[in-house]
Structure 1
Amino acid sequence: MDYEGKKKIHCKLVDHHSSRINALEEKVQLLWDAARKNNFEIHELEFKAQDAEKRLEILTSQVEKMADIISEKWIQIRQLEQAVQMTEMRAPKVKRQLTFSKCPFVEFIKNLFGHHLETLKGILHPYGSYSAADPNSYWAQALHHLRGAFSSAKQYHYKLQRFVKQEMERNELPGALANEEVVFLVASALIVFPIYIAFTFLFSHFR
């Protein structure tokens, strides 16, 4: 084989190797591009993961704070429930007290004994205004206060009748007996009884 033939063959081999080298270089470049792209995506994913972790920590802190607030509110709700239960338990008692305080009989007793209590104490005291030399003075005071008591009794008798009738009608059994005669007798008994006790006490004190 002459020189020219060898040269041609050598040129073909060089071209063939050059082509393979170029192809390999292109593949390497593509691999580098892919690697850089993957590294960028990995970095981006790591950044997103760190951001998500920070947000998760913030949310966890908020949830813990909300849990503390809910616990505190729950305690307050329980306290309010207990207060409501106590109020509901006391409500009937308060209602009875209000009803009792509005009762004309109670109002009558307060006006009768509240106004005359101090005076009666002085009259009944052994060293009070009673004088053996002037017994009429004592009886004049006693009669004066008894007249006041009867005047108050007459004033509150009608109110007491209405109150007694309302209270009797609230109950089934007494409600059947809530006619005018029974109501009048009950109201009269409630009025007369304390006056009778007071009169008996005064009479026995100087008997």
Structure 2
Amino acid sequence: MAVQPPPRRDFRPILRADLATYGPTRGKSTTRSRGAGGNDPDARGLQLLGVSRGPDYQKLESAIADELNTQYQPLARQVSSVECPRPDKPPKAGDTLTCVADLDGGDVRVVATFTDDDNNVDYRTIDTVYDLTDTEAGLAEQISARYGFDVTVECGDGLKIVESGRTFECSATDPGGATRAVQVTAGEAGEKDTWKILE
């Protein structure tokens, strides 16, 4: 009769899993106004028509703030301001500008793209917002399930704003007290976040 080795109680090298439970803290729009141009499902459409037939930047800033405040409701925080640059020349179809929303003292960037010459705009965030307390709990659950033993995870306090495609690190500790870095990658639009244990 073959004897099964005891289960490992330490970290094995590089594993990945999705962080699908972090949806409420995501900074990406998930809907688009009817008739808005573009094929990006993470874009919001808006027509900006100012008094002088130029773009109404205040309307854009207000729409971005409203959308982000809706998305960040589970965080119990609101965007305090949104600032978009005002180019000297009238924008043309395809022109973009990067607006910045202040969320709890951190910058969330929003790219607005003019979809035509009539000041119609699609916008989308390029940053992901993490509530680090929720991130710790989600990672601890997923890593524990993957490895078969309980781990504790430390990521810090408050919110962390990460550009899509970029990484940040937390630390995970196994029952024996060994600690490893956990690298979290913010997913691009339409992709899930991932994590891996670093050696």
TM-score of the pair, normalised by structure 1: 0.27
**Higher-helix-fraction structure:** 1
Higher relative contact order (CA 8 A, sep 6+): 2
Mark the structure with the bigger radius of gyration. 1
**Higher-strand-fraction structure:** 2
TM-score of the pair, normalised by structure 2: 0.28
